[in-house]
Amino acid sequence: MAKEPAPVRITTAQRSHRDDIAHRQKRYLISMGIRTLCFVLAIFSIGHWFLWVFIAASFVLPYIAVVMANAGSTSDPGGPDYFAPDPDVRSIEGSARSTDI
């Protein structure tokens, strides 16, 4: 089965509301996953100096995750995709020369 080419972007519009929320949820879940990992590492590093680094991270990351998740949507950095048409691909069958009038 032939792979379809990626669609050409022709607008500078921002991403949809659904995509924006999905992106923010993904950032939040990643941040909270790192927070959970820091908490677990703090439990296993009792008696070491870096215990306090993990504890501090596990207390600060929820605040950062919420602020990042509630931040307004960012403008989409992309823009229209500029492309050069392939001269070998024709949409209308016929000769390449348009001398027939």
Q: How far is CA 47 from the centre of its chain?
A: 39
- Residue 36: per-residue pLDDT: 92
Q: How far apart are CA 32 and CA 7, in angstroms?
A: 34
- Residue 1: per-residue pLDDT: 63
Q: What is the mean pLDDT of each run of 10 residues along the chain (101 residues)?
A: 69 75 88 91 88 90 84 62 68 60 53
- Residue 40: per-residue pLDDT: 92
- Residue 9: per-residue pLDDT: 63
Q: What's the token pair of residue 22?
A: 């999905």
- Residue 77: per-residue pLDDT: 61
- Residue 99: per-residue pLDDT: 55
